[in-house]
Structure 1
Amino acid sequence: MNAANAALRVGTRGSALALAQTTAIANRIGALAGAPVDIIPITTHGDTSRESLSSLGGTGVFASGLRESLLAGDCDLIVHSLKDLPTGAHPGLAIGATPKRADARDVLCARDGLTLATLPVGARVGTGSPRRAAQLRSLRPDLEVVDIRGNVDTRLARVAEGDLDAVVLAAAGLGRLGRLDQLAPEFLELSAWPTAPGQGALAIEVREGKADRRLAEALAAINHGGTQATTAAERLVLARLEAGCAAPIGATAVVDDGLLFLTATVYSPDGTRKVTSSHAATPESHSAHHLVEAAEDVAERASRELLAGGAAEFAPLKGTS
């Protein structure tokens, strides 16, 4: 954005979901910055490969192509699903904003109105997430968990065609596609079914350095302090444990009544073991700085407790106590 009337180029993955969530955010930023917006679809290795996510090496397979385009100057900012973003900082880039989070829950989309409790023994449930697979095996070891890839419609089609009895998806994604009212899925509550760190949230990534004033002000306007703090707490657990997508970890943080609460659970891949840690901190204020300090505090304590509880003995973690 050099010229006053230059279009703001926003990079995104090309899936229907990515385009839907990016367009909504880009339009907000463009309106605040007083600039037209161009959406730049970018194909990543994670989009073209049919291998499982864990074998591909984790969440970075979706972020790397977007980041390369941003660093090359092909776009001015990129929009990530925060759960797809590696926890480590990327040289030359920074998170410019974390907008208000959508619903962080998972949902079960099953045939014939079935629920997780009423699926018959041996029912085939699809997911590409090691965390969801471990949770399914923990709660319903009698189910057959099927590793799947593909976009939302591809996954739902396998249920409609009878190949699968159900799939587990993110409520936020279905909501952004306008599908929740059509499907009437079962919402899996976070207290019993914690989701991926950062699920339901988006991250706006920009190049480091002096940003265009209008863009910087627009990003500041859409940043949500509570979302920034809660997702930071969840993702800091991943970073402390040095865990990637092959590690079945669920984490949920909330800011409530002046406290920041964090609960994190590590599962064994087969779902037979798990360890949970819950901690709270009182931020000195609700400023972004103090909220992030509280997030770092609870994440550090929870991580140490998870490791002390034996998480590294049964889950693929690299962290040490």
Structure 2
Amino acid sequence: MASTALVIGGTGQIGLAVAHVLRAAGWEVVQACRGQRTPPPDDARPVLTLDREDTPALVRAAAGHDLVVDTVAFTPAHASQLLQLDVGALVVISTAAVYRGTNGTYLDVVTDPDSYPDYPVPLTEDWPTVDNAEATYSPLKAAMERVLLAGNLPVHLLRAGAVHGPASAALREWFFIKRALDGRPRVTLPWGGEGRFHPAATANVAALALACARAPGQRAVNAVDDECPTDADIARTVFELMGHDAEVVTVAGPPVDGTEPSPWSVPKPFVLSMDRAHQDLRYTAAMPWRAALEADIGWAVEAVGRAESRGGSWRDVFPDLVAWGADGWFADDARGQG
């Protein structure tokens, strides 16, 4: 008899990848979501409409499953919900943003280069996490982790880095992909182009979720790609894969006037270790970073093309980027500096 899994947030980028990997491994999978995001056109499987804030409905939907994968848990209250479930094990998507820098700061509170966290390279799961009462992303995720790890259900917490993959509503790589599509002649990157902010392909996060399902326990595990390219590496690789000849200009120090930093333009490295996943869970990455990036590009170009054919634009494909202010990413292009 096949093992069964419920994936909460099952039509988001991570949920889709997890459902695909579990099914390929022989699992029976139910994908649940609030119904606010339409599944991709190539996924015709029925989806369970579920509001994860409705605890009784969540308990009923999860009852008896061997595994629940929660991609949209953010708070201690969500953790308490999950601990009420009658299930075999949990895999919960957390974030690498829970780590606290040696200077006492964390990613939520960065306002300038000096306030950016100082992290060891690489960061391991034993490094201290944020522990305060602030109701913002990182402290809430860290508090969620503590509640789950103190519970009585087997749980793996996947501390994901900068997630990328098909079906993303916030594909950071669009920063460079759009420049290639527009034929922009150059991009200018601060900090010498050496910024490193560890990417995490959805295919690899999903493969790690499967490894966790096969070895139930109680632990936090970093969830990133095996490679951590620099800002300039990402730019050059996108341009190469898209056949675009552009100059990657790097400047020492912070962004110069008139140019937009990329999502990876950070003043200090944010690099995570995957040793625990490889050694304790026998995890093997599903894709190297370059191959995952190529898949991102193929999907993004096709998805934006479809949107444009309907009279829309990239903003319809990446609404979360728009919410983050991504229109400003390309303002410098009009001045020929981008």
- TM-score, normalized by length of structure 1? 0.30
Q: Which has the higher strand share?
A: 1
- TM-score, normalized by length of structure 2? 0.29
